[in-house]
Copies of this chain bind each other. A is one copy, B any other.
Amino acid sequence: MKLSIIVIGDEILIGQVTDTNSGFISRRLGPMGWETRRVLTIGDDADEICAAIRQCMADSDLVITTGGLGPTKDDITKSVMLGIFGGEMRRGEDVVVNIRNVFAIRGLKMNPLTEGQAMVPSSCRVIQNRLGTAPIMWFERDGKVLIAMPGVPFETEGMMTRAVESEISRHFTPDVKVAHRVLMVAGVTESALAQRLEDFENSLPAGLHLAYLPTPGLIRLRLDGISAGNCDIDEVLDSCYSRLCREVGDNVMFDGDATPAEIALHYARRRGLKIATAESCTGGNIAHRITEIAGCSDVYVGGVVSYANDVKVNLLGVNLADIENHGAVSREVVLAMAEGVARITGADCSVATSGVAGPGGGSDEKPVGTVWTAVHTPAGTEAFLRHYPGNRQRVIDRASTEALLELAKALKG
């Protein structure tokens, strides 16, 4: 079954806000047999919204719109729906009750603009939005369905999982099954890996497809399968996936889909070791990447963001002489940071970073992108020098990723 998603909002079109709703919806509905054929992002313009809905309704079984339902003037989606699906605007008394409840939870009072949100086309069925004031609207025509969702990710995500997915399941009967397996690969380039896997790819049975998703330091291999009728797609996928793991061999970093932080936590947990972090140029990003993972507290104890040199010396016990002689971005300093943070936190292992994230602070000897990383484990402490291209954000991002992957490799053994 085909799904199209229409993302409505000038703020997304001009690049001020990044759409994450469409990806969330695809990830949730894919395993239910829905193939997303397009995501169409348009502005808050009645003609564009109308044209987009007509285009998507023509070739998709289900169309989901997100955004364009707020209380303010720039939202015009509802009147476009009225134009397409007919009926008249009515005041939804159940919607009023829901809005009052949402406002009461937030400790706020309704005002006339919010009252306007209770007006809905009579041609739709309302799914109450327990997480916000914009009602979710379900329209039907010629056996096809259009669902209008709010634009706030928290509301869209929450209401998809709480109510909308089950309504979709009830209405449609899936005729195909879609599934995939993911393998994380490190230490090889995308093109060298593709060469090695050429025979494997050519021998894949019908309905199976291998996709390469390279990220810095890590290639995500995704084996997609789609089946109609009685074929057990999971069984076929499992068998091909085992063969894929053998072909990739030593370059397998992780069996499944995982972030570098999840991989590092996995290998530390398996060995019963505690982790700490000491960050200069990555400025807390490594700690953040670890702590955004639920359940990390059995492995991660904490760390220090030693941005100023005083903090490196006073908190982590780095020698001031080392900073003066070699600079803060040096093997000596980053080794002392890694060992220092393990000592003061009582952790068994640690990562430390010190580098020039830019745009300022570079020199001929240590240009922007120069990063020293140290990994400390019970087996010892090692330091690595890297030069990352790109802007500040990219240097921070890549240095964080590589520090976590180096730690994971050291712990994987």
Contact = CB atoms under 8 A, between A and B. Distances in A.
Contact of A211 (B74, B111, B284): B74
A210 B20 CA distance: 24
Contacts of A27: 14-16
Interface in A281-302: 282-288, 290-292, 294-297, 300-302
A14 to B, nearest CB: 5
Interface residues of A, number: 103
A292 B38 contact: no
A111 to B, nearest CB: 5
Contacts of A20: 18
Interface in A9-54: 10-20, 22-27, 30, 36-43, 48, 52
A175 to B, nearest CB: 19
A169 interface: no
A37 B43 contact: yes
A14 B30 contact: yes
Copies in the complex: 2
A315 interface: yes
A38 B386 CA distance: 39
Given A27-B16, A191-B113, A286-B284, A41 B38 contact: yes
A209 interface: yes
Interface of A: 7, 10-20, 22-27, 30, 36-43, 48, 52, 70-74, 108, 111-114, 131, 152, 154, 157-158, 189-192, 194-195, 201, 209-214, 220, 222, 224, 277, 279, 282-288, 290-292, 294-297, 300-308, 310-311, 314-315, 344-346, 357-360, 389-394, 396
